[in-house]
Structure 1
Amino acid sequence: MRNALKQDHFRTPLWETPFHPRIAALSRANQWYAWSGYKSAHAVRDEELEYFAIRNAAAVFDVTPMVKYRIEGPDAEAFLARLTLRDVARLKPGRVHYTAWCDDQGKVLDDGTLFRFSAAEFRLCCQERHLDWLCDSAIGFDVSIAEVTADIAGLALQGPTSAAVLRRAGFDIERMKPFDLARVTLDGLAVDLSRTGFTGDLGYELFVAPDAALALWDRLFEAGGLLGITAIGYAALDLARLEAGFIVANADFVTAEAAIRADRRRSPLEIGLDWMIDWDKPCHFNGARVLRAEKARGSSRHILVGLDIAGNVPAEHALVYHRGKREVGHITAAAWSPSAKRNIALASLARPYGDRVKDDLWVEIYALRELVYQKSMVRARVVDRPFFAPPRRRATPPGEF
């Protein structure tokens, strides 16, 4: 019996989120993937139309599988300041900030968003599961930590008409600035509402109890019926996040716990997160000594850069060369950007390339044409991110569009 159970473990189905009945009813593509043990849509109907919903209307993406931790107690602030790179004392109640945390060798374990509800209550949202690391790091602090992924259903509502949808749904969002957070109750529906998202556009995230998920979904879709509200999958979101220049764990960098080879791990300075390190905060933080030494010596071995690539063929998984001969790195994410009208990419390069040496970079692209791969070497130049940044993202109050 024990052997039979072991052999059948792969038959265990993926969990379905509280929003799954609505998404499955809309699904025409029938494209699903596994995200943190949940069944998540890669595309609902058509990924291109879903992308244009993000940039021209209102797009709804199910973020329930995002890993969530409730962190609370008298020492919650001190613990999080010790754990993460930023000074949590500067994060006021009712605000959210983007952060990351490292192991003792200064290598990034994950990045995510930290929500502060009160002086002693936080929620940390991220890509991977880290409960053991969080609990080990909390020794000596008066704090309680619990994973609450399954206890909270979440939706990302993104796009130029997202504010208009919320207004029509009865939410007061006029004074909410980017990264603001509020707890609201609307006709008995308790919602944690934040002006955050992963698209680089105007957008919000809404979190409710699982048994209230369908009520929230129906309220939004009723309000957004004439505003182009559309359910989307990850494919469309992935293109939007690339245009915004956002990075994804285990796609654009390998997390320290997931890396098999030590040289695959990255420090914050090697993936463009050095801006968030609060070097002067009063407390010590994980990896601080190593990171300070890396900064002082200029010993970072890699750099993550944005590239503008000639032509219109996406350079997915391509290699990057200097002067067309010396291999200096690889593409981590690439696409033709419909909004920026550019062939864009993120690339991990070996310093000094992409840092001091930015000229004469080439990308090796293989394009499939009539069942034959054709190789081409095309020029690339290092550019600033984001690739696309509409002013509506920061407008307060947001427009109707």
Structure 2
Amino acid sequence: MTVENRYDVIVAGAGHNGLTAAAYLARAGLRVLVVEKNDWIGGAAVSRSLHDGWTYSNCSYVCSLLRREIARDLELPKYGLQVIPYEGGASFTRDGDFHLGDNDWRLCCQEQMLTWLLDAAWGFDVSVVDETHSIAGLSLQGPTSYAVLEAAGLDVSQLKPFDLAHVDHDLMISRTGFTGDLGYELWCDWDKAEALWDRIWTGGAHQGLRAIGYEAVNLARIEAGFLTAGVDFQPVHATERLHRGQTPFELGLGRLVDFNKGHFNGRRELLSKRENPRSLLMRFDVEGFKPSEGSLIYNRRKKEIGHITSGIWSPTAKRNIALAHVRMPDAGRSSGLQAEIYTLQEGKWDTRMARLTPVTKAFFAPPRARATPPART
């Protein structure tokens, strides 16, 4: 064997494991030879055409489990690696719900996301800590919420919408909420939550403060046009039936997708769906006063084209309002849409067709929600 054809390492098999090992050895400065008995390489990571018109995947779907540091070290996206989420679903993120400091974020969400976050953290210099049972959150919402905090000795006069600040020792307050109205969320250590509750309750003694449950919050969030997971859309990782997941563009959240930030999982799939959504989530004024949640939507009483996910009679806006999924191209119509509403009256079910009028903005968006400093009443 001459010097020219001498190798430091010979890798038997050009499957994805063999190629990965060879690539790292070559990066370390070794001379590497990869030998493969087949006339194709890639092993289980290959989809091959076994017959005309029939492409077979050995086990290429398992490449979604590829360690992220390998994809980054070997610059695999640069050479065409694209992991497409199952059934065309897509994930979209922003830089955390709360930016607590340099490289420090707190993510608060309705769905349980810890497992996904831990998987996504592989290969990155990042730590993920579950604060579910160490940090308590208290939501204070409504037109007098600023006055209540002021009466409790907490100064939030300079907080703008979505701002957050450490207002007191071990107490962080953010001007956020799920109602679309003036409101705040208070964050403290778990063992100090009861004392904080008492402090707020004392401050709101003369401000009409009341403890409310989800039903009231649900009314407020629909008036604001806010979406709820599992109601107005199905998280793609939780769907069991094909084609039930929605893209950000179908939910009216396309502004949250940044195609200029470089490669990310699902980018190619999202680009293909951006201009051709299957349906659109729309806001409607509903004729009459009967709540329309769960109703089917028809185009001129002939063709079923969608359904209403959330529908209420709004006590604040004094309107019958709804959020609904409408299939394309009917989502582009401004007239001719009707909802088939079923009502139970004195033990008898009745049905009526109600005219739907598209609405482009929130049903209720009071200026006090954005004023700084806010009014006290």
**TM-score, normalised relative to structure 2:** 0.75
Q: Is the 8 A contact 2:341 2:351 kept in 1?
A: yes
* Alignment partner of 1:371 is 2:351: no
Q: Is the 8 A contact 1:242 1:345 kept in 2?
A: yes
Whole-angstrom distance in 2 between the partners of 1:184 and 1:206:
10
Deviates more, 1:361-370 or 1:380-389: 380-389
Whole-angstrom distance in 1 between the partners of 2:191 and 2:255:
39
Which amino acid is the alignment partner of residue 202 of structure 1?
L
* Alignment partner of 1:145 is 2:128: yes
Q: Is the 8 A contact 1:157 1:204 kept in 2?
A: yes
The secondary structure found in structure 1 opposite 2:158 is coil
Q: Is the 8 A contact 1:272 1:303 kept in 2?
A: yes
Whole-angstrom distance in 1 between the partners of 2:195 and 2:93:
31
Partner of 2:116: 133
Which amino acid is the alignment partner of residue 107 of structure 1?
G
Q: Is the 8 A contact 2:290 2:343 kept in 1?
A: yes
> Relative contact order (C-alpha < 8 Å, sep 6+): which is higher?
1
**Shift in Å, 1:300:** 1.0
Q: Is the 8 A contact 2:154 2:168 kept in 1?
A: no
* Alignment partner of 1:248 is 2:228: yes
Q: Is the 8 A contact 2:279 2:328 kept in 1?
A: yes
Correspondence list, 1:328-367, <5 A: 328-354=305-331, 356-367=332-343
- Identity percentage over the alignment? 48
Whole-angstrom distance in 2 between the partners of 1:225 and 1:147:
35
Which amino acid is the alignment partner of residue 299 of structure 1?
N
Residue by residue over 1:97-149, the C-alpha shift from the partner in whole angstroms, topping out at 9 and shown as x without a partner, is: xxxxx957662558896110101111111111122221222222100012211
Partner of 1:123: 106
Alpha-carbon distance change, 273 to 156 in structure 1, aligned in 2, over 3 angstroms: same
Whole-angstrom distance in 2 between the partners of 1:285 and 1:164:
44
Alpha-carbon distance change, 103 to 205 in structure 1, aligned in 2, over 3 angstroms: farther
The secondary structure found in structure 2 opposite 1:268 is coil
Alpha-carbon distance change, 242 to 250 in structure 1, aligned in 2, over 3 angstroms: same
The secondary structure found in structure 2 opposite 1:305 is strand
Alpha-carbon distance change, 170 to 105 in structure 1, aligned in 2, over 3 angstroms: farther
**Shift in Å, 1:270:** 0.7
The secondary structure found in structure 2 opposite 1:253 is coil
* Alignment partner of 1:382 is 2:354: no
Alpha-carbon distance change, 111 to 365 in structure 1, aligned in 2, over 3 angstroms: farther
Point out the structure with the larger strand share.
1
**TM-score, normalised relative to structure 1:** 0.70
Alpha-carbon distance change, 328 to 377 in structure 1, aligned in 2, over 3 angstroms: same
Residue by residue over 1:203-224, the C-alpha shift from the partner in whole angstroms, topping out at 9 and shown as x without a partner, is: 0000111110111000001001
Partner of 2:53: none
**Shift in Å, 1:184:** 2.9
Q: Is the 8 A contact 1:107 1:267 kept in 2?
A: yes
Partner of 1:71: none
Unaligned runs of 5+ residues in structure 1 are: 1-101
Which amino acid is the alignment partner of residue 244 of structure 2?
R
Residue by residue over 1:321-369, the C-alpha shift from the partner in whole angstroms, topping out at 9 and shown as x without a partner, is: 0001100000000000111111000001111122x22320000001110
Deviates more, 1:166-175 or 1:131-140: 131-140
Q: Is the 8 A contact 1:315 1:331 kept in 2?
A: yes
Q: Is the 8 A contact 2:143 2:182 kept in 1?
A: yes
**Shift in Å, 1:272:** 1.1
Alpha-carbon distance change, 123 to 103 in structure 1, aligned in 2, over 3 angstroms: farther
Alpha-carbon distance change, 209 to 333 in structure 1, aligned in 2, over 3 angstroms: same
Correspondence list, 1:278-289, <5 A: 278-281=258-261, 283-289=262-268
**Shift in Å, 1:165:** 0.7
Q: Is the 8 A contact 2:142 2:182 kept in 1?
A: yes
Alpha-carbon distance change, 201 to 321 in structure 1, aligned in 2, over 3 angstroms: same
Larger Rg: 2
Partner of 1:82: none
Match of 1:210 among 190, 194, 197: 190
